[in-house]
Amino acid sequence: MNPWDTLHGLVDEEVWRSISEQYASFQQTMGTGDPDLFAQYLHRTGKLSKPALGEVIRRRGRPELGDPKTLRHRRDAPDAATFVPRSPEQGYALLGKVGEGSMGRVYVAKDRDLNRKVAFKQISADYISDERIRTRFLNEAQITAQLDHPNIIPVYSLEVNQAGKLGYAMKLVEGKTLRQLVLEARAGWENGQPLDLAKRRSELIEIVLKVCDAIGYAHSRNVVHRDLKPDNIMVGAFGEVYVMDWGLARVMGTPELGGKVSGEHQGLTRVGDAVGTPAYMSPEQAQGKNDSLGGGSDQYALGLILQELLTLQSAVLGKTVREVMKAAANGEREVPRHRYNAALPPELLAIVGKA
């Protein structure tokens, strides 16, 4: 397969007619034949739109193993930083943004030396000079890197570019968040095609057990996550489960880190007096008792997540953030009822209540 085949239909006809010549010019100029970087080059030179670039990255998936043309990396070639943001002395090329959090952005990046795609989280430009937020960001990278568990996202390296932006590379998970799985289940019910309940619940229990294993391990290392929610749990294409985003994680018994970033919606992380996401906070979290937070707070959040997976709707509701925070602070949650009136297994509801 030609390295530019994935571009077919995504560039206009004039560009496509000259694609082989453009690829040859790219190779000669940049000293690499990397197809992903070629697509990025076309984007930077105005020949490939941003949505099309994302589609190329999705189509290409993992690079072919053993291709000597792809594996070759010429150190004497011109620096690709002319069109790809890179940190000095490291081989990550940012290909496209895939997400954004309270402190930084997450990109798909190419590890040029090992010829693999990774996720690269970089601190937002707004906080590049804020030492408190930089400390939080570094704390996230270091804590995640030290939690060596099959269900916790592995970190590969920490980088600082010439502008002083912190960033770290981690495993790129090709899959869906629990939030997406809940929305897909809702869509199935609303379209008259509900999933096999018994099979789905068995799969969900396996996912939750893996998350519990990961959090149990973190607690054994005296680390509390403090921001467990469906958005921060990834399920890979082959059943892998990863607990993500340890930005609010804290080693129990250590002082609270400074820095405040606030969100204006119940689904966003709030950092400040109360840390976490309102709809998944334990009462002590919502009350701002940060110094006393322990493993029980994460366990409470896991109970709320399990209720949402069973019922297909949030366990803590409110029209405003203030209402959600008040309900969370009082330990209030919705009576478990399936969104589409399916029966709920009492033994799982008992686990939710205990959590």
| Token pair of 153 as six digits | 């996202």
Cβ atoms of 135 and 259 closer than 8 Å: yes
* Total H helices, total E strands in the chain: 12, 10
In angstroms, rounded to a whole number, what is the distance separating the alpha carbons of residues 9 and 129?
43
Rounded CA separation 35/111 (Å): 13
Angle between helical axes of 197-220 and 295-311 (0-180°, round to 10): 170
How many Å apart are CA 108 and CA 120, to the nearest integer?
Answer: 6
* Structure token pair of residue 191: 């379209």
Helix axes 295-311, 178-190, angle to 10 degrees: 20
Q: What SS3 string covers 193-260?
A: CCCCHHHHHHHHHHHHHHHHHHHHHHHHCCEECCCCCHHHEEEECCCCEEECCCCCCEECCCCCCCCC
- Active-site annotation holds for 196: no
Hey, CA dihedral for 336, 342, 343, 346, is it positive or negative?
A: negative
User: 111, 130, 227, 245: which is the annotated catalytic residue?
Assistant: 227
Q: Is the Cβ–Cβ distance between 182 and 230 less than 8 Å?
A: yes
**Sequence-distant (≥ 6) Cβ neighbours of residue 265 within 8 angstroms:** 321
Q: How far apart are CA 52 and CA 16, in angstroms?
A: 14
Q: Which residue has the tokens 């408190």?
A: 132
Active site residues: 227
